[in-house]
Every structure is written in structure tokens, then in C-alpha cells.
Amino acid sequence: MDKGLQIEQDSFAIIDSATDLSRFNSAEQVIARKLIHTTGDTEFAELTCILSGAIEAGVAALRRGAPIICDVEMVRVGITRRYLQSYGNQVHCFISQPDVLTRAAADNLTRAETAMLYAAERYPDAIFAIGNAPTALLKLLELTATGRMQPAFVAGLPVGFVKAEESKDLLRQTTIPHVTNRGPKGGSPCAATVINGLLVVLNDLLSAE
Amino acid sequence: MDKGLQIEQDSFAIIDSATDLSRFNSAEQVIARKLIHTTGDTEFAELTCILSGAIEAGVAALRRGAPIICDVEMVRVGITRRYLQSYGNQVHCFISQPDVLTRAAADNLTRAETAMLYAAERYPDAIFAIGNAPTALLKLLELTATGRMQPAFVAGLPVGFVKAEESKDLLRQTTIPHVTNRGPKGGSPCAATVINGLLVVLNDLLSAE
């Protein structure tokens, strides 16, 4: 076995012996286990929140080739490209687009907020992966509430002490298919690993068909 | 003030009221505060380990334009490019180089280990930022112990339950100028933020000169 893969499998065995993921179904466990693996933090066993049916919705969207919109470049590069090739999903991050920079300055919005507006105009029913900017998630929620977006799936795990927890609490109150977490923790690797976990679930599903 | 910057400053105020960073000097506090900000995890106030004099060594290396070698792409894209332009530092990640892939398969090493060997042959006295792969840090320590590398500074914060803690414990026993952490936590944002923190300290230093 590939040495990197062996380390991952050993990690998963340690995680399973150290945590109780029994409140999740088997597809949800793939996601929760990957969140703990990515952060080295067993607290994610308790902090992870997955809306019922969200994994199925995310997997179906991936399978039909839905684009994946990331709030920051770290999320974009954290998504494993070699899995995605089979389904034709594009992975985008608009935060450094010249149009976005100009508009953010003109409208006194964060670049992350403006990038969500930009995404809503082009890919309103995409998969979204938000790991850094609470303002991106808050803007997504506003655009969804006003009918300008219908996200197929949201990995919403922005990190930090200002607005991150609040934005994730609001996401949990919606019916948008989502994975999120309680509290200030989170981050780009968390958002990326949720998408990579959906790809694992999809690959398992296709192998079983 | 730029809205993104305002959020960062508010976060730092919350961190300062919630943690005790008094065991660190002022430059070290910049780094510890950024680690807590990046992870949303106040435990980093206790987990962060900074070798005495390490920040000065890292800042001096940055100032002389030393290249920065990252274990994975997520670390590379997490380093703020606009600050670096002033000093001419290159930021490299070799994990997906075709040479590295071929050699890893031939030698039954992880890609991360092979990328460190590749770096040692080209940039033995670089700044290193390791946020993902314990095997990269272990290889760096081996190459340093055998005199094939003399890292100017190491941000060594690989994450996970297999070898990560062990690799960081070994780093702490060396005199390589380093920032690391205790336990399995860590990750790409941690490694990137340590380098970004050095850039903040350097900019403050230059403004004061």
C-alpha cells in the first residue's frame, strides 16, 4: 500500500477508537472522521453538524458535475483534483478576480462578500465551500433568503472569533443541505475535507452500483 | 479602515482578553496571536512552542530574501504574497513536481519526504513551512542531523494522529530556529500564518528603523 494512504488509514483507526461517531450514519461518518483527521482535533466529533440528507444532496450535485465555489484559494487547492476529473466539476475561487477587487472597494464590502455576489450571478445552484470568511457565508445566506441563490450544498466552516460562530448558527437554522460546526473553530482544510469526503462517498457508491 | 482588516483587529482584541500570552515576548506574541486567530482555538496559547531567538532568525532570513519551502500547496497559497514582494523571497512547493513523484514511487517514500530531499539539494538553508506532512518534518530533521540541510527557520506544525506529535517533539529537542506546537493539532493554515507573522514582525521592525 502507498505509504501516505497507510498513514491515513492508521489515523482513521485511531480516530474511531478515540471518538463516538454513532450519531452519524455511515456516509456522515466519512465526513466527520475526515474533519477530525484534518484538524487533529477530536472535539469535532461533537462540534460537527450535518443536516439530515445533506450528504446525499452534495453527492448528487457532484455527480451531475455541479461547479464548486470556494471562498479562498486555500480551500480551492485543498480539494483533491484527481477525484473530480471523473465528474467534470470545475472548482472556482473568485476572491482575487480583478472585477471583485474593484467592486469590493466601490461598495465597501469585503472581497469575500463580493466574491459571493459574483458567484450568485453565475452559479446560483453550485456547491459552496467556505472555510475562511464569515462574511462570505453571511452573504450566501442573505442571497439564498432573497431567492438569488439556491445552493445545492454548503460546506460552511469559517473560522474565527468575529461572526464565524454567528454565521454558522444561522446556516444551521436553514434547510440548505449543509455541513458546519459549532463554535469558532473551522478553517480552509475543514471546508476542503468536507468536499473531499463527498467525493469518497460518491466513489464508494459508484463502486457498489 | 478596510472591513477585512477591521475584523482581524477585533479578533485580536478578543484573543487578548481570552488568553494569557505573557510568557512570550512581543514579537513571539504576534505569532501566537495569529495561530489562535487562524485556528479559532484558544488552546494554542498553551500549545505553541517558540525556540528562544527563533523569530529573530526567521525575520533575518526573510529580510535577506531566503526562499520559503512549503510541504503542500495549501501552505504555499496561504502565505501572503503582497508582503513578500518587497524582499524578493520565492515560495516553493515541490510535492507535485514530476521528478518528485517518480522518485517517491521508486524509493517507496512519501511524496512529502521526497520533496524535502529535493529541497535539501537545492535550498539547504531556506525557510521551511510544514503544515501537513509529519514525514516531511521527520525527513527535514534527519537531513539536518546528517548535515545535508541547515534550515534558517522552520514553521513545523504538521497535523494528525500518526507521527505528527512525535515529529514536533523531535523538532523541539533541536536548536533549529523553530515555531511548533504540542499535540496532534496544527495544519496548513498554522504553518502559513507563522510565516505571515514573521512578515508582520519584519514590517514593524522596518517601520521603526
pLDDT in tens, chain A (209 residues): 566 678 888 999 999 999 999 999 999 999 999 999 999 999 999 999 999 999 999 999 999 999 999 999 999 999 998 778 788 999 999 999 999 999 999 998 989 999 999 999 999 999 999 999 999 999 999 999 999 999 999 999 999 999 999 999 999 999 999 999 999 999 999 999 999 999 999 999 988 88
Task: Check CB contact of B183 with chain A, cutoff 8 Å.
Answer: yes
Task: Check CB contact of B182 with chain A, cutoff 8 Å.
Answer: no
Calculate Rg over the CA atoms of chain B. 16
How far apart (Å, rounded) are the C-alpha atoms in residues A172 and B76? Answer: 32
Geometric angle at alpha carbon B21, from B195 and A36, rounded to 5°: 65
How far apart (Å, rounded) are the C-alpha atoms in residues B192 and B199? Answer: 11
Nearest to A126, CA basis, from A87, A154, A93: A154
Distances in Å between the Cα of A168 and the Cα atoms of A113, A135, B151 are: 15, 11, 40
Output the pLDDT for position B59.
97
How far apart (Å, rounded) are the C-alpha atoms in residues A205 and A104? Answer: 41
Output the CATH code of domain B46-208. 3.40.50.10230
When CB atoms are compared, the residue of A14, A40, A135 closest to B186 is: A40
Task: Check CB contact of A78 with chain B, cutoff 8 Å.
Answer: yes
Residues of chain B with pLDDT under 70: 1-4
Output the pLDDT for position B6.
82
Q: Do A164 and B3 touch (CB under 8 A)?
A: no
How far apart (Å, rounded) are the C-alpha atoms in residues B7 and B199? Answer: 19
Amino acid at A129: A
Amino acid at A151: P
Q: Give the ranges where chain A is alpha helix by DSSP (H).
A: 3-18, 26-39, 44-47, 54-63, 73-78, 81-84, 98-107, 111-122, 134-145, 164-172, 188-208
Cβ contacts of A41 on chain B, cutoff 8 Å: 41, 184-185
Choose the mutation target among A162, A168, A181, A190 for the interface with B, i.e. most B CBs under 10 Å. Answer: A162
Cβ neighbour number for residue B51 with a 10 Å cutoff: 19
Under a CB-based contact definition with an 8 Å cutoff, are residues A197 and A206 in contact?
no
Cβ neighbour number for residue A200 with a 10 Å cutoff: 18
Closest residue on chain A to B187 (Cα): A39
**DSSP H or E run through A70:** strand A68-70
Task: Check CB contact of B186 with chain A, cutoff 8 Å.
Answer: yes
Under a CB-based contact definition with an 8 Å cutoff, are residues A133 and A72 in contact?
yes
Q: Do B189 and A189 touch (CB under 8 A)?
A: yes
Nearest to B175, CA basis, from B152, B202, B198, B199: B152
Output the pLDDT for position A1.
58
Query: How far is C-alpha A67 from the geometric centre of its chain's CA atoms?
Result: 13
For residue B171, give the DSSP letter: H
Output the pLDDT for position A62.
96
Under a CB-based contact definition with an 8 Å cutoff, are residues B45 and B23 in contact?
no
Task: Check CB contact of A10 with chain B, cutoff 8 Å.
Answer: yes
Amino acid at B201: V
Average model confidence (pLDDT) for chain B?
A: 95
Residue A10: CA count within 13 A, CB half-sphere? 12
Angle in degrees, 0-180, between the axes of helices A98-107 and A111-122, rounded to the nearest 10: 120
For residue B186, give the DSSP letter: -
> In the annotation, is B37 catalytic?
yes
Tell me the three state secondary structure of residue B64.
coil
Topology (CATH) of A47-208 = Rossmann fold (3.40.50)
How far apart (Å, rounded) are the C-alpha atoms in residues B148 and B52? Answer: 24
Output the pLDDT for position B85.
78
Distance from CA of B74 to the nearest CA of A (A): 5
Distances in Å between the Cα of A154 and the Cα atoms of A65, A67, A96, A168, B160 are: 15, 12, 21, 11, 25
How many A-B residue pairs are in contact by the CB < 8 A criterion? 109
Closest residue on chain A to B14 (Cα): A161
Nearest to A61, CA basis, from A36, A95, A84: A84
